[in-house]
């Protein structure tokens, strides 16, 4: 599109220059027509399809023991019925520094949207200046016999003017920029939700592992006491000559080994306690948690239809919004093929006397329009369009990969919970049998029917089985946390809202969308 430049420059009274051949009414009509016909070039965004299964394979034939609606609200961790965990989780938003950094990044993205929207409106300014100037030889003689230099009296000049310029968004470059920035801001909001959910889940896992360490500490405390009783029995039998010295030494060695394990638990617990302190924004030296027992139940969030997962995961919402932003960048690149139209104007006063500056005889003003286009760029614009289209294709691929990984994570945790539920039942029976074997073997040893090595073997097996049971319980609780995280926790894409030029809540269409013309 080629437009003739039209500009009036008005100086003081009686000074008027018309720089082009279009009359004023024709210029105004042309501008109005251009604005009315203005459109945003480039493809309008449509959500691409994503690979969505019809069901979760791992849910068939499996029902959680105590299903709870863990994903119905923000406080998803409340399903674990632990007041200490609940108190710690509430401190994530207040004190976690990583979350504060994500929140600052979101505010930065929101500010960019405001900056882009300001581009739709004219820029208005004001200038004021005053100068006093004079020429050389102001009243002075060069020398004797020389001609007098002309006298140049100092001059004053004062100006006060308002200025304005307006970039007319005929081709939608500014609107596409706003669309891209809004989508990026919503992606940043989803990133913030993902960071919050990740911190909450990590805190829950660290807390569970700390409580497992407390349980291990309690188990080893009981084991040490049992080993002390065994050592006492062995010493008494040695004193009466029933057993050899080697049985006493073996019992002492076994006791020392258990005490060493009990001491080592302190390292694990301290490390976990420090990690929880950092997650809640506290100095580790000022933070402590009293020992407590591990919850026995393993709550699991109810599983909805697979397509609902795509609106519950903040990382999926972020990837979808980045697709929208990349799509808008195509329109920005395409708009470079079309001319830019800018309106500008000035209105003010100029005079050599400051006291009478703002008077009608000193008025000056100008108004003009400029159309500019690039005629030859040696392939720069086509290359830029190819670049942004490739970036969009990459965003689509990343989005679909995020969806696939999300379903993988859910299936993984469902399988883990299903299998561990079976394993924990078997292991509980194993622990019962191992503890019974210890008691029977110890009685037989007291009666002198078995060697002390049989007691050691039974006790070692019982301790190992109890520790295995604790590890399975820890894995089940960790898997339940990870499943809730994989389902999006207490977050929903509808929280992104539907305001602004970009599409509404960041979900996904489970039906293939028509490919936009690119």
Task: Confirm whether 3 is domain-assigned.
Answer: no
Q: How far apart are CA 41 and CA 337, in angstroms?
A: 10
Given this model, what pLDDT does residue 489 score? 84
- Give the count of beta carbons closer than 10 Å to the beta carbon of residue 506: 30
Task: Confirm whether 386 is domain-assigned.
Answer: yes
Strands 6-10 and 363-372: antiparallel
Task: Confirm whether 1 is domain-assigned.
Answer: no
Q: How far apart are CA 22 and CA 102, in angstroms?
A: 54
Evaluate whether 465 touches 434 at the Cβ level (below 8 Å): yes
Q: How far apart are CA 376 and CA 371, in angstroms?
A: 16
Q: How far apart are CA 222 and CA 384, in angstroms?
A: 71
Q: How far apart are CA 163 and CA 440, in angstroms?
A: 99
Q: How far apart are CA 421 and CA 60, in angstroms?
A: 15
Task: Confirm whether 327 is domain-assigned.
Answer: yes
Evaluate whether 326 touches 389 at the Cβ level (below 8 Å): no
Given this model, what pLDDT does residue 166 score? 92
Split into its structural domains, the chain has a count of 1
Task: Confirm whether 110 is domain-assigned.
Answer: yes
pLDDT band at 517 (very low <50, low <70, confident <90, very high): very low
Rounded average pLDDT over 188-204:
93
Please provide residue 427's backbone torsions phi and psi, each rounded to the nearest 5 degrees.
-70, -35
Cα 246 to its chain centre, rounded Å, is 63
Range of the domain at 182: 39-121+171-338+378-496
Rounded average pLDDT over 435-452:
92
Quick: pLDDT tens for 345-393: 998 888 888 787 888 787 888 999 999 988 898 999 999 999 999 999 9
Given this model, what pLDDT does residue 494 score? 65
- Looking at the DSSP bridge assignments, the partners of residue 345 are 164, 367
Please provide residue 473's backbone torsions phi and psi, each rounded to the nearest 5 degrees.
-60, -40
Assess whether pLDDT exceeds 50 at residue 73.
no
Assess whether pLDDT exceeds 70 at residue 459.
yes
Alpha helices in 240-313 (DSSP H): 245-279, 306-309
Task: Confirm whether 150 is domain-assigned.
Answer: no
Evaluate whether 235 touches 124 at the Cβ level (below 8 Å): no
Quick: pLDDT tens for 315-337: 999 999 999 999 999 999 999 99
Task: Confirm whether 88 is domain-assigned.
Answer: yes
More confident residue, 21 or 494: 494
More confident residue, 22 or 315: 315
Q: How far apart are CA 137 and CA 143, in angstroms?
A: 12
By three-state DSSP, how is residue 119 classified?
Answer: coil
Angle, alpha carbons 153-157-163 (nearest 5°): 165
Q: What is the mean pLDDT of the chain?
A: 82
- Looking at the DSSP bridge assignments, the partners of residue 347 are 162, 365
Quick: pLDDT tens for 10-20: 333 333 333 33
Angle, alpha carbons 148-149-150 (nearest 5°): 115
Task: Confirm whether 318 is domain-assigned.
Answer: yes
Question: 316: domain CATH number?
Answer: 1.20.1600.10
Q: How far apart are CA 325 and CA 329, in angstroms?
A: 6
């Amino acid at each position: 599109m080629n437009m003739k430049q039209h500009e009036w420059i008005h100086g003081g009274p009686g000074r008027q220059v018309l720089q082009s051949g279009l009359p004023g009414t024709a210029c105004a009509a042309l501008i109005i027509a251009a604005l009315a016909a203005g459109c945003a070039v480039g493809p309008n965004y449509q959500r691409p399809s994503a690979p969505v299964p019809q069901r979760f394979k791992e849910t068939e034939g499996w029902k959680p023991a105590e299903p709870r609606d863990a994903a119905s609200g923000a406080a998803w961790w409340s399903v674990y019925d632990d007041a200490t965990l609940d108190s710690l989780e509430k401190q994530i938003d207040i004190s976690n520094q990583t979350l504060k950094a994500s929140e600052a990044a979101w505010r930065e993205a929101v500010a960019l949207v405001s900056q882009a929207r300001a581009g739709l409106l004219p820029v208005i300014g004001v200038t004021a200046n005053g100068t006093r100037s004079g020429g050389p030889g102001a009243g002075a003689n060069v020398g004797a016999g020389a001609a007098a230099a002309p006298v140049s009296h100092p001059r004053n000049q004062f100006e006060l003017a308002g200025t304005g310029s307006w970039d007319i968004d005929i081709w939608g470059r500014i609107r596409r920029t706003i669309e891209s920035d809004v989508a990026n801001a919503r992606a940043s909001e989803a990133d913030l939700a993902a960071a919050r959910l990740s911190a909450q889940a990590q805190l829950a896992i660290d807390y569970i592992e700390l409580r497992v360490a407390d349980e291990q500490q309690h188990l080893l405390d009981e084991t040490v006491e049992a080993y002390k009783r065994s050592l006492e029995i062995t010493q008494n039998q040695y004193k009466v000559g029933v057993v050899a010295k080697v049985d006493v030494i073996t019992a002492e060695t076994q006791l020392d080994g258990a005490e060493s394990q009990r001491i080592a638990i302190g390292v694990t617990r301290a490390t976990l306690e420090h990690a929880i302190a950092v997650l809640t924004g506290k100095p580790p030296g000022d933070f402590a948690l009293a020992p407590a027992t591990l919850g026995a139940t393993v709550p699991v969030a109810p599983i909805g239809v697979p397509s609902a997962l795509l609106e519950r995961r903040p990382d999926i919402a972020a990837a979808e919004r980045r697709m929208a932003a990349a799509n808008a960048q195509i329109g920005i690149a395409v708009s470079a093929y079309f001319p830019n139209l800018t309106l500008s104007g000035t209105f003010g006063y100029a005079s050599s006397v400051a006291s009478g500056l703002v008077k009608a005889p000193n008025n000056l003003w100008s108004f003009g329009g400029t159309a500019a286009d690039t005629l030859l760029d040696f392939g720069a614009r086509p290359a830029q369009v190819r670049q942004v289209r490739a970036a969009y294709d990459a965003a689509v691929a990343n989005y679909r990969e995020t969806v696939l990984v999300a379903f993988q994570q859910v299936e993984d945790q469902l399988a883990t919970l299903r299998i561990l539920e079976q394993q924990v039942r078997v292991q509980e029976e194993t622990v019962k049998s191992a503890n019974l074997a210890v008691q029977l073997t110890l009685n037989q040893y007291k009666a002198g029917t078995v060697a002390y090595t049989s007691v050691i073997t039974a006790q070692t097996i019982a301790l190992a089985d109890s520790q295995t049971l604790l590890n399975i319980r820890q894995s089940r609780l960790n898997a339940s946390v990870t499943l809730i995280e994989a389902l999006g926790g207490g977050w929903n894409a509808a929280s992104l809202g539907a305001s602004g030029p970009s599409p509404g809540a960041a979900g996904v269409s489970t039906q293939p969308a028509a490919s936009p013309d690119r």
